[in-house]
Structure 1
Amino acid sequence: MRTNSVLVDFGNVQPRSFSRLQDDCFRLLVFVGASQARLPFEVAASVQRMGCRAEYVKVAGSGPNALDLHIAYCIGVLSTTDPEGYFHIISKDAGFDPLIRHLRGNRIRAGRVAAIEEIPLIRGTIISEWVSLTRERLTKMKAARPRSIEALRKTIAVSFNGSRSEGEIEAVIGGLKEQGYLAVEGEAVSYPVVVPG
């Protein structure tokens, strides 16, 4: 299986945990600035659970692009030792985007996202979890299940306390349709008889 190296610009993004990276296909490098003296317990604990697949990289100096340059250097080194790997930069800094384009132009698999949950491999797992939860909730509703697409969207939004975007709600509906749990025809939603599972 391809290694997914996750390089976190901890000066720019501070995830609460790295628990979603526990699968063996992930390798984690957390880049911390020279002046960052403390990390939250859950961050340190989730890094520790990954064992030798995770490490901290303390940037020696300070400056506006110190972390960025360290990350760029590490991707260069890692891509020579793992040319088939995928490199995920976790940062809100769009300054990485020209580097990403350059890497891709040289056939190095790389991308930048603002949160770990946006890594495509993880995002697919999260959507799958949301589909399962939604299916359970709708099954419990029995005859009260929503019969229009708009009512279904509202039901899903409410069930997740309004914390899901329109795109995420549509992904959940798409997942339910793929499973054959529901069918949408125009604005109408129906629930064909499906084998549980």
Structure 2
Amino acid sequence: MRKTIYVDFENVPNIEIREMSDTRILIFIGQSQKRLSTNIVKAIQPLGKNVEWIQINGSGKNALDFHIAYYLAMHKAQPDTEHYIISKDAGFDPLIVHANGLGQKVRRVVSFADVFEKIGLGKELEGKYKKVKEILMKQQKTRRPKSRKTLSSFIETTFQKKISTAETNKLIENLFRDGLLEEKSKRISYLD
């Protein structure tokens, strides 16, 4: 089955792209985004015509999100295609439910890896994940970490610094995957 991937580059600027067959990638960048990492350009360049850069017109709250919604609607008549929105913004979820109800195959994921493989935590990290989730959900919303940096520090402190940076990042990504967090303008909000 073919895949179309819509990348919310404002929300997920550190994308790890790899060569994929039968895949079209649309990368949405904000009007004020003027710089791109050389590493990202080098990774994307070999994909040639399978990648399209879409710089949005105008600025404002959710402007980029509306552009993604428009392009998703344009591709509605492709029954043999799965659509993936790469974003940590849970605001897409009602649109995705609606599109799936109309027969379109759409999912929101937080990374390219999620499009092609199920990321497992393993036994040891699964226990840590449950503990982090439990502690966060018991805390008052106003006392929870509000940025990735403070969330990382919170997790490291919870495990008395006996957790690697890679493991911490994996736990955070799973909080996004499970729909417990969303990130907008580098601020985290909790969806419970």
Normalising by structure 2, we get a TM-score of 0.62
Larger Rg over CA atoms: 1
The Cα shift of 1:65 comes to 1.1
- C-alpha contact (below 8 Å) 2:8/2:29 kept by paired residues: yes
Amino acid in the other structure paired with 1:74: Y
Q: Distance in 1 between matches of 2:33 and 2:166?
A: 31
Matches within 5 A, 1:23-34: 23-34=20-31
Q: Distance in 2 between matches of 1:96 and 1:16?
A: 19
Of the three residues 86, 108, 117, the one matched with 1:90 is 86
Q: Structure 2 regions of 5+ residues with no counterpart?
A: 128-162, 172-192
Matches within 5 A, 1:46-125: 46-80=43-77, 82-119=78-115, 121=116, 123-124=117-118
| Equivalence for 2:5 | 6
- C-alpha contact (below 8 Å) 1:85/1:109 kept by paired residues: yes
Q: Distance in 2 between matches of 1:84 and 1:117?
A: 21
The structure-2 alpha-carbon separation of the partners of 1:161 and 1:71, relative to structure 1 and needing over 3 Å to count, comes to same
Q: Distance in 1 between matches of 2:15 and 2:87?
A: 14
Q: Distance in 2 between matches of 1:53 and 1:113?
A: 20
Q: Distance in 2 between matches of 1:46 and 1:78?
A: 25
Q: Structure 1 regions of 5+ residues with no counterpart?
A: 132-148, 154-159, 167-197
The Cα shift of 1:15 comes to 2.1
- Per-residue CA deviations over 1:88-146 (Å, capped at 9, x if unaligned) read 00111111000000011011000001222222x2x24x77xxx9xxxxxxxxxxxxxxx
Aligned residues: 134
Moved over 6 A (4+): none
% identical aligned pairs? 35
Q: Distance in 1 between matches of 2:32 and 2:71?
A: 20
- Considering only aligned residues, what root-mean-square deviation do their CA atoms show, in Å? 2.8
- C-alpha contact (below 8 Å) 2:30/2:59 kept by paired residues: yes
Structure number with higher relative contact order (C-alpha < 8 Å, ≥ 6 residues apart): 2
Q: Distance in 1 between matches of 2:16 and 2:52?
A: 14
SS at match of 2:76: helix
